[in-house]
Amino acid sequence: MTYKYARPKGKHYKVSIREWNKVFANRGRWPFVVANVYVDGNTAITHYNISLFGKIFMLTISPLHYIVGTILYGCKDAHKSFLDVMFDKQRGKFSSDATYKRQEVSWNKLMKLIGEE
């Protein structure tokens, strides 16, 4: 069975994780994660994906990753973890949250963060 990414409905907003962490709980280390927020009516879905900087960083250290990763947990798992970083959306290797309008405090913080007040 294979995973197929389906983009959530609604308007898309990209929020840096640095800004996200100032308003909400920590969801990742700064340059390596980005919050993609999809607002549709009374629901906001947030996906925490690897940022472009994180993917470029992984690409540059990939030779070291393959050497150390193979020693630590085998060639197959080292390759799988590389692909999980590079293709996180396509492989379903990201985390997700939902915020609803009825959660007034969180909803208002999110709307202020994305500029929709």
The answer to whether position 111 is within a domain reads no
Q: Judge whether 38 and 11 are in contact, CB under 8 Å.
A: yes
Mean pLDDT (whole number) for 20-42:
87
| Res. 1 pLDDT band, cuts 50 70 90 | low
Which residue range is the domain that position 57 belongs to? 11-104
For a pLDDT cut of 90, what percent of the chain falls above it? Answer: 80
pTM over 0.85: yes
The answer to whether position 110 is within a domain reads no
Q: Judge whether 14 and 115 are in contact, CB under 8 Å.
A: no
Q: Is the pLDDT of residue 27 over 80?
A: no
Tally the domains of the chain: 1
Q: Is the pLDDT of residue 29 over 80?
A: no
**56-109: per-residue pLDDT in tens?**
999 999 999 999 999 999 999 999 999 999 999 999 999 999 999 999 999 999
The answer to whether position 2 is within a domain reads no
Q: Is 24 left (phi over 0), alpha (psi -120 to 50) or beta?
A: beta
Cβ neighbours of 68 (radius 10 Å): 12
Which stretch of DSSP H or E encloses residue 59? helix 52-60
| Res. 24 pLDDT band, cuts 50 70 90 | confident
The answer to whether position 47 is within a domain reads yes
